[in-house]
Amino acid sequence: METTITPNYPRGLTFEQVWAAFMENREQQKETARIIKELGKQMGNLNNSFGEIAEHLVAPGIAENLIN
């Protein structure tokens, strides 16, 4: 038969301490979501920049080929 080990907390945890930990975690999750959203925007802008570079490099050559 297995024995269950119960952690020995010096003072125990109160409801208020647990609730405060949940609220702190909630705020951290909000901050993480905000950071992920901002990084997504930055990656999108970077992708657009690469597209614009490609357009500037290729577009002049296409125009010359269409004229000739």
| pTM, entire model | 0.55
**Mean pLDDT computed over 43-66:** 79
Q: Tokens 């301490």 correspond to what residue? A: 17
Rg (CA), the chain: 28
Domain spans, the chain:
16-68
Query: What are the tens digits of pLDDT across the range 9-54?
Result: 667 888 999 999 999 999 999 999 999 999 999 998 888 888 888 8
Residue 36 CA to residue 5 CA, distance in Å, equals 39
Query: Strand runs (DSSP E) across 1-68, as ranges?
Result: none
CA angle at 52 for the pair 49 and 53, rounded to the nearest 5°:
90
Scanning 1-68, the segments in alpha helix (DSSP H) are 15-67
